[in-house]
Amino acid sequence: MMHSNDPALPPLALLPAVLAAARSGSFSAAATEMGVTHSVISRHVAQVEQWLGYDLFERYGRGVRPTPDGQRFLRETQTAIDLLSQGAQPWRRRRGPDVVRLSLLPSYARIWILALVPDIERDLDVRLELEISERLADFSDGQTDIAIRCGKGQWPGTKSTVLFTDHLVPLIAPKLLAGRAPEALDAQEIANMTLLHDSDATGWRHWLDAQGVKFRQKPSDRRFEDYSIGLAAAEAGLGVLLARFPFARRAIENHDLVVLPFEPVKSPLATFLVQPAYEQRPAVRAVAERLAAKAKDCR
């Protein structure tokens, strides 16, 4: 219970540590996010709890989660901070555009994102920092705001929005047809050719299974971690590649690759825009919305 000489406001300087712990679900992750030690987070949370007179968090495993009282306090505190931030923005002197950090695979950068950067930066008054990486994005260190990844969209602690679904159909360079009509190739013949794929050949397994043909890895098959390199290899006649739209569209329109006449098969994987589960800055939300809209234009 508060005494008459207690301050009317909670210790405001300590609230970022409390909110960081709630977002990340652990004092250690909150400490990493804020660039302080675990003990600092623990001490700040304890001081706020002392002011309130009740516990904000309960421990489970290696993490923490808000108590029912803590949930109410954190919700109201975040709302108050958001209102304060919105009210202060018109009076704040901008030192430059807001930086939004985007993590993505090399193929997405080459084939799609780089062409969008100038318009996004100009229209939204932001600066996009691109992290070109094949590793999973780690939001806990605060160095990534948005990631674009291929998968099933089930990454713990994140929310995912589908950008592109892949409908798989084989592509082949005209030189590999050697004068044969595309419809002359059946699925078994294709399976016997050199197949170009990424690390686990999920697409080929799925497509061949839909044709009633068993996938068998061959020494002649070639693996490329980056889809844009796989496209270049297919154009060079090194093997057959499964189309992923919209990334293969230009090669098809330029007649560098021929679409074999099979019914497209929906891939079990898709391209997702991935964000941390907690609420993000307005600039980050604006960039995410723009990317999602641009993806719709490409479908």
Cis-peptide into 246, omega within 30 deg: yes
* Tokens 């016997």 belong to residue: 192
What is the CATH class of 12-91?
mainly alpha
Domain ranges for the chain, please list them. Answer: 12-91, 98-165+270-298, 170-263
**Within 10 Å of residue 183's Cβ, how many Cβ atoms?**
9
Q: For domain 170-263, is the CATH number 3.40.190.10?
A: yes
CATH fold of 98-165+270-298 reads: D-Maltodextrin-Binding Protein; domain 2 (3.40.190)
Q: How far apart are CA 232 and CA 143, in angstroms?
A: 32
Q: What is the distance in angstroms between the CA of the first residue and the CA of the last residue of the chain? A: 58
pLDDT tens per residue, the chain (299 residues)?
444 455 677 888 899 889 989 988 999 888 888 888 889 999 999 999 999 999 999 988 888 999 999 899 989 988 888 788 777 666 655 567 899 999 998 888 988 999 999 999 999 999 999 998 877 777 766 678 999 988 888 788 888 999 998 889 999 999 999 888 999 999 999 999 999 998 778 899 999 999 999 999 999 999 988 888 999 999 999 999 998 877 888 888 889 999 999 999 998 888 999 998 887 889 999 999 999 999 988 76
Do 98-165+270-298 and 170-263 fold alike per CATH? yes
Distance CA 148, CA 189 (A): 35
